Amino acid sequence: MFSFRYSDKSDKDKIEIRDFWDKTFHDTKGFTDYYLSNMFYDNKILLAEEDEKVVGMIHLNPYEFMLRGKQCTIYYIVGVAIVPEFRLKGYMKKLLNHALNDIRKESPFTYLWPADTAYYSSSGFVSVQNCICTEIEVESDINFCGDNGINLAVMSEEKITDYFISEIDRLLDNEFDVYACRSRKYFERLIREALSEGCSMYAVYDNDMPVGYFTVGTAEGIIEVQHVVLFGKYNLIIKEILSICRKKYPGFLKIRFHMSEEINKKITEEVPLFKDNSSLEHVMMLLDFSDKSNNLKNSRILFDEIV
């Protein structure tokens, strides 16, 4: 018999969910270890079962968001999966609808990064943010003008300061109507996620004032810069990132920047090289329960991929 239930976070559930995750998503062991250590006991996991065996799941990961000056809990949907023999039979749609009905009771909207936009469009999700990939040569020459003063510092959990947190949150609040609150817990998880895949998080300072951050690592012979949130002096910051990457990863020829379209546009205004080397990577989709959120259509939104 096909049924739904939320995980009770027992050891039995954790083993089954880990096995299902490994078979479905093929993430690295390091990332999956990180995810189940950091999110398993905080999130909600809706399970679909057939004769008490897990055959499908949806993970609802909670984040504190600012929504036009008001703080609320928003669920980022990840880990959506069902076993092959139950696909194309309507079971996934039932599982998703069950989760959405529960989210609607608590949150003004929910969002996800879909593998298939058409599938989620049929459930009312709309595309709200493009994520852009920019690939350039590591040795690219970035022209700049003005005084320098940009400093990049490797971050650890111990180095996260209240000042850094408050300044990044202030800058986000100036630029966006809807965004995930940057808290100590948020940055701790970002650092742990980066480390789980052999990456590092860097803080960006302009004359000792926090103006952004990013993570950097390598994959398949290319330097990958991700979780990019930057404000001001983009040409100088990109120049410093390239300089750091040359020193940190000698011999690598290319570097990819992954970021929201909004931040990519701001960088492109000062770094024309980005314009001709950027392409759409994926989209974030949102389901707006407009009776609670007062419609998000014209809001300035920044979503995140951190899980």
What residue ranges define each of the domains in the chain, with the CATH number in brackets? 2-107 (3.40.630.30), 132-282 (3.40.630.30)
294 SS3 class: coil
Rg (CA), the chain: 20
Q: Which positions of the chain have pLDDT values less than 70?
A: 141-147, 291-294, 305, 307
* The dihedral sign for the CA sequence 120, 122, 127, 131: positive
Which two tokens mark 2? 């096909």
> Phi/psi at 119 (nearest 5 deg)?
-60, -45
pLDDT of residue 146: 47
DSSP letters for 101-125: HHHHTT-SEEEE--S-HHHHHTTT-
d(CA 64, CA 81): 25
Q: Cβ contacts of residue 196 below 8 Å, gap of 6+?
A: 28, 30, 31, 33, 34
End-to-end CA distance of the chain: 32
Model confidence over 4-34: pLDDT tens digits? Answer: 999 999 999 999 999 999 999 989 999 999 9
Dihedral (C-alpha) 99, 103, 105, 110: value to the nearest 10 degrees? -140
d(CA 239, CA 140): 9
d(CA 284, CA 305): 9
Model confidence over 241-299: pLDDT tens digits? Answer: 999 999 999 999 999 999 999 999 999 999 888 888 888 888 899 999 876 666 787 78
